[in-house]
A and B are shown apart, each in its own frame.
Chain A
Amino acid sequence: MILKYIFRHTNPDFLNRDFEKLTPKDIMFRKAIYHSGFKFGLLLLSTITFIGVFVPFFVDMSPYDQDISKRLLPPVWSEGGSWQYIFGTDGNGRDYLARIIYGTRVSLTIGIGAATVGMLIGVTLGVIAGYFGGIVDQVVSYILTCQLALPGILFLLTIISIVGSSLTVVILVIGVLHWTLFLVVTRAATQRIRNLDYITAANAIGARKTNIIFTDILPNVLNQIIVIFTLEVGVAILAEATISFLGLGIQPPTPSWGVLIAEGKEAIFFQPWLIILPGIALFLLVISINMLGDGLRDITDPNTNIE
C-alpha cells in the first residue's frame, strides 16, 4: 500500500499495463508491489528493526536495572501483571520487555554479520571452483569435505575457549561455520552458467575472466545467493541462540534472545513466558527474513512474470 502510494507519486505511469514501455527499475517495483510475501516480510522486518534500534532512544527503559523485590512478575495479560512491566520481569527483577528489545540488536547484528561472513567465504570459493573447474575445483571440494566433517560445536568450543567470547568472535565463528551452503549452491550454478552460450560470447568479445565473473556469472547466481543469505541469517540467529543457551555465546548480562531462553529454562514450568516470549520474537524475525528473501529472489529474477 505504502509502496504503491509512493510510487504513484514518483512515476504515475507505472500502473500502465503497457509493459514494453517500462524500464527495468519500473518492472522491479511493479513486481515488488504485487508480491504479498515480500511486502509482509519487509513490513515485519522493518518493524522489528525499528523497535530494536530506535525504541530504546525514545522510551526510558533499561535491560540491566535489577529490582529484587519485583522478581518474576508475570506479563500484563496474566493474573498479577501490571502495565509497568508489560512482559513481566525475569529472575533478577529486570524488565523483560526491555531485555527482549535490546536483544533484537544483538540477534540482528549476529544474524546479518555471520551470514555476510559465510557468504563472502562461500560465494568466493564457489564461483572460483565452478568457473575454473579442474584442479581448483578439486581443492575447493576437498576443503568443503573437511568443513562438513568438522564437528561444529566442538570447533566453536575450542575457538571460544582460546580467544574468549565477544560479539565479534561469535559473528566470525558462526560465519566460518556456515558457508557450505553458499559454496554448494554457487558452485553448481556457476558450473551450469559457465557452459552457456553467453559466456562463450563474452569470451569472444574479449572480456577478461574477472569481467565475466562480475558481469555474467554473479548477477545470475544472485537470486540463489539471496535466498541462501536469508536462510543463513535465520540459521545464524538460531545458532547464536543455541550457543548462548549453552553459555558460550553472548555473556550475560548482555541480553540476547538465546541468553534469555537459557536463563528462562529453569523456570519453564512456572514462568513459561520467559521462554515463550523470546521464542516468538525469534520466530517472527526468522520468518520475516525468509519471506523477504523469497520475495527478493522473485523480484530480482528477470525471468519471472511481471504480474
Chain B
Amino acid sequence: METTLLEIKNLNISFNVSKNIVNTVDNFSLTLKEKETIGIVGESGSGKTISMLGLTRLLPKQAFVDKGSILFKGRDISNISNKEFYQKISGKKISMIFQEPMTALNPVYTIGRQLISTYLFHNDVSRNSAYNRAIEFLDKVQLTNVKERMAQYPHQLSGGQRQRVMIAMALINSPELLIADEPTTALDVTVQKEIVGLIQKLIENLGMAMIFISHDLGLVSKTCEDIIVMEKGLILESGKAKDVLTRPKENYTKNLLKCLWSLDVDHKKINEYRTLLLDVKDISKSYQLPGSILKPKKVINAVRNVSFEIFKGETLAIVGESGSGKSTVAKIINGLTKMDSGDVLLEGKKIDSYSPLERALRIQPVFQDPYSTLNPNHTIGFIVRRPLLLNTSLSYDEIETKVAKTLDLVGLSKNFINRFPSQLSGGQRQRVAIARAIILEPKILICDEPTSSLDVTIQSQILDLLNELKARLKITIVLISHNISVVKFLSDRVLVMNNGEILESGNTLNIINKPKNNYTKKLMSAIFTVKKKV
C-alpha cells in the first residue's frame, strides 16, 4: 500500500496590496502519495508557484497563508514554528529547484562549498564525508570532471550545468519530496530534454515524490502521472494526465490543449513564390571580446558565410538555439548591424545604400521582450504614430485615422492611445509593437521570437494575429524562433542554424518530418507534443 506523503487541504494565500487583501490562491488542495509525481500547469499569475511557496514557507513578504492545513506524512506542518520547520522539513524532507539557474546559486562561493554547506546544515557529519557525498551527487547529475567542478564558481558553468548543480543541491539531503518550479524554462530546447530526463531518472532511482510546476502542458504530460490545471488561483481540474489530456472538462484546459494542437495541424499547401525580395549573399559577422593581459582577445564568429533568399509573400523561419546567430542574421538583414563581409540585396539594391527612412518603409522588426520593446515614457498613441511623423508628411487627421486603423488591425481599441506601456499586459504590448512595425506598410516583417516571452494562450493569439496580417497585408515574414511548434504553425520554409552556420534548409514539413542533419534531428526530437486524439 502506498502511503500518503503530502496532503494540502483548502490552502488560501492572500497578498496585502496597498491595504487591500487580494486572494491569490483559493482553496488549493492536493494529495500526493509516496513516489508519485504531480504536475501543476497554469500561466503566469495562476498561483501555481505561490501555492508551492506557501508550502515551503518562502512566500514574499506581502503574502501570507490565510487558512488551510498542510499534512506532511500525516503530521500537520502548517502550525509548527519556523525554527522547527527550517531544521526538520525544509531542505531536508522537502526541497525545491528554481527556474533561474543564473540567480539561484551564490556567485561568490564555489559549487563545492555550496553543496557541502547544504549537506552539513542538516547532517552532523565530518567535512570529509560531506565532500564525498557532494562528489557522489555531482556524479549522479551526470556532470563530468566532478572533482574540478567542486572548485569552480557558478559563472564558469553553462546554464544546463548550473541547473544540474541545483538539482544535486536539492537532492543531496535525500528529501522525500522534490518541488521543481519550471526547472527547464530558462534553458535551450535540447538541454531542456536532457534535464527533464535526468530529473525523471533520479526521482525514480531515489524513490522520491515530485511536484512539477510548468506552463508547458506538453512537458508536464510527459513527466507526471497526475495533472492539476490552475487558473487565477483556482484549481480548474485535476486527475490522471491521460484523462485530462484526452477528456478535458474545463474550457480553459481545452484552450490550453488547442494551443498545442493548433500548432500541430497539417500545413497548408506550399505556394510557389516567384519574386525574389531579399537576397542574402555569403554574409559573415564576428564580434571581438576585449582581452586582457592574461587573456588573448577572443573572436566570436556569430555568423559564418550565410546565404539564403526570401521570396515575396512567403514566411521564412530561422530556427536555432540561443547563440546560434539567428538574431544577428535578423539584425543584419534589417540593416541595423553592419556585416563584416557579404551582401544583402533588398529588391536588387544593397541594404546599406538605402537611407534609414527608405529602409524603414520596406523592412520592420518585432522583438521578443514585450517589456523592453516599448519606451515606457511614451503613450501608445505616440509610439504607433512616431514612424508616420518621421517618414511621411501626412496631416494630423490622416495620421490619427491611420493610427486608429492600425490599432484596430492588431486588435486594440482606440482607448489605448493615451495609455502608457506599464498599463498594458505582455500580449497587448506585443500587439502595439506589431502595430508600430506595420503602420508604414513594410514589405518584410522580421519577427525575432515574437511569442517566446508570452503565456501559452496569449502566444496563440499573437500567432493568429500574425497569420491574419500575413493574409490581409500580403506581408513577407521572417520568423526567428527556437520553438518548432511556432515555426510549424506560421512558416513555409525553414532554415536551421547552429554556431553561425546554416545546417539545413527547405520546406517546413520536410524539415520537421524528415530531418537529415543530426543536429536538426536532435532539435526536432526535443519537442514535447501532444498528439490529438480523435
Interface residues, chain A, with chain B CB atoms under 8 Å away: 19-20, 22-24, 27, 196-198, 200-208, 211, 215-216, 219-220, 222, 302-303, 305, 307
Contact B423 A220 (CB under 8 A): no
On chain A, the residues within 8 Å of B365 by CB distance are 200-201, 204
Set B369, B376, B415: member contacting A302, Cβ < 8 A: B376
A190 → chain B, closest Cβ, in Å? 14
From known contacts A19-B423, A200-B336, A200-B367, infer whether A208 and B377 are also in contact, taking CB-CB under 8 Å: no
| Besides A201-B433, A204-B437, A211-B390, 15 new A-B residue pairs in contact (Cβ under 8 A), listed by A number | A24-B418, A24-B420, A197-B373, A198-B373, A200-B367, A205-B360, A206-B356, A206-B361, A215-B375, A215-B386, A220-B377, A302-B377, A302-B420, A302-B422, A303-B422
Cβ of B205: which chain A residues have Cβ within 8 Å of it? none
Residues of A within 8 A of B152 (CB): none
Kindly state the separation between the CA atoms of A189 and B357 in the bound complex, as whole angstroms. 27
Residues of chain B within 8 A (CB-CB) of A196 are: 372
B360 touches A20 (CB 8 A): no
CB-based contact A307/B379 at 8 Å: no
Nearest A residue (CB) for B364: A204
B421 cross-chain contacts in A, Cβ below 8 A: 302
In the assembly, what is the distance between CA of A206 and CA of B391, in Å?
8
Interface residues of B in 345-372 (CB under 8 A from A): 355-361, 363-365, 367-369, 372
Docked Cα-Cα span, A27 to B420, in Å, equals: 10
**Is B475 an interface residue, CB under 8 A from the partner?**
no
CB distance from A210 to the nearest CB of B (A): 12
The chain B residue sitting closest to A195, CB to CB, is: B372
CB distance from B8 to the nearest CB of A (A): 32
Q: How far is the CB of A144 from chain B (nearest CB, A)?
A: 20
Task: Please give the distance in Å from B53's CB to the nearest CB on chain A.
Answer: 23
Residues of B within 8 A of A19 (CB): 423
Answer whether residue B419 sits at the interface, using C-beta atoms and an 8 A cutoff: yes
A208 to B390 CA separation, bound complex (whole angstroms): 9
By beta carbon, the residue of chain B nearest A220 is B377
Enumerate chain B interface residues (CB-CB to A < 8 A): 18, 331, 334, 336, 355-361, 363-365, 367-369, 372-379, 386-387, 390-391, 415, 418-423, 433, 436-437, 440
Complex contact B390–A206 (CB within 8 A): yes
Q: How far is the CA of A23 from the CA of B18 in the complex (A)?
A: 23
In contact, B386 and A205 (Cβ under 8 angstroms): yes
Asked whether, in the complex, the Cβ of A205 is within 8 Å of the Cβ of B372, the reply is: no
List residues of chain A with CB within 8 A of the CB of B437.
Answer: 201, 204
Contact call B373/A203, Cβ cutoff below 8 A? no
| In the complex, residue of chain B having the shortest beta-carbon distance to the beta carbon of A216 | B375
Q: Inside 8 A of A203's CB, which chain B residues have their CB? A: 336, 356
Choose one: A20, A201, A303, A305; the contact of B376 (CB below 8 Å).
A303
The chain B residue with its CB closest to the CB of A207 is B390
- Are the CB atoms of A205 and B436 closer together than 8 Å? yes
Kindly list chain B residues whose C-beta atoms are within 8 Å of the C-beta of A215.
375, 378, 386
Query: Is A205 within 8 A of B373, CB to CB?
Result: no
Nearest chain A CB to B4 CB, angstrom units = 43
Asked if B375 and A205 make an inter-chain contact with CB atoms under 8 angstroms apart, the answer reads: no
What is the minimal beta-carbon distance from A304 to any residue of chain B, in angstroms? 9
A residues in contact with B361, CB < 8 Å: 206
A198 to B377, CA, bound (A): 11
Q: How far is the CA of A194 from the CA of B339 in the complex (A)?
A: 20
Contacts of A204 in B (CB 8 A): 334, 336, 359-360, 363-365, 437
Contacts of A303 in B (CB 8 A): 376, 422
Whether B387 contacts A198 by the Cβ 8 Å rule is no
Q: Are the CB atoms of B379 and A201 closer together than 8 Å?
A: no
How long is the Cα–Cα vector from A307 to B17 in the complex, in angstroms? 11
Measured in the bound complex, the distance between the Cα atoms of B418 and A23 in whole Å is 6
A-B contact pairs, 26 of them (CB 8 A): A20-B415, A24-B418, A24-B420, A27-B420, A197-B367, A197-B373, A198-B373, A198-B374, A200-B331, A200-B336, A200-B367, A201-B365, A204-B365, A204-B437, A205-B387, A205-B390, A205-B440, A206-B355, A206-B356, A206-B357, A206-B390, A208-B356, A215-B386, A219-B375, A302-B376, A302-B422
Contacts of B367 in A (CB 8 A): 197, 200-201
Q: What A residues does B440 contact at CB under 8 A?
A: 205
Which residues does chain B contribute within 8 Å of A205, judged by CB atoms? 360, 364, 386-387, 390-391, 436, 440
Provide the residues of chain A in CB contact with B377, threshold 8 Å: 219-220, 222, 302
State how many angstroms separate the Cβ of B148 from the closest Cβ of chain A. Answer: 34
Which residues of A sit under 8 angstroms from B357, Cβ to Cβ? 206
**Nearest CB in chain A: distance from B382 CB, A:** 9
CB-CB < 8 A to A200: which residues of B? 331, 336, 365, 367
Among A19, A24, A198, A203, find the residue whose CB has the most chain B CB atoms closer than 10 A: A198
The 5 closest A-B pairs by CB, nearest first: A206-B360, A206-B357, A219-B377, A206-B356, A197-B367
- Please tell me if the beta carbons of A198 and B375 are within 8 angstroms of each other in the complex: yes
> Which residue of the partner chain A has the closest CB to B370?
A197
Rounded to whole angstroms, the CA-CA distance of A161 and B243 in the bound complex is 89
Q: How long is the Cα–Cα vector from A86 to B355 in the complex, in angstroms? A: 71
Give A213 Cβ to nearest chain B Cβ, in Å: 13
Measured between alpha carbons, how far is A39 from B530 in the docked complex, in Å? 58
B18 touches A220 (CB 8 A): no
A201 touches B420 (CB 8 A): no
In the complex, the chain A residue whose C-beta lies closest to that of B361 is: A206
With a cutoff of 8 Å between Cβ atoms, the chain A residues found around residue B369 in the complex are 197
Q: Within the assembled complex, what's the spacing in Å between the Cα atoms of A26 and B451?
A: 33
Q: Using Cβ atoms and an 8 Å threshold, which residues of chain A touch B386?
A: 202, 205, 207, 215
Chain A minimum-CB-distance residue to B436: A201
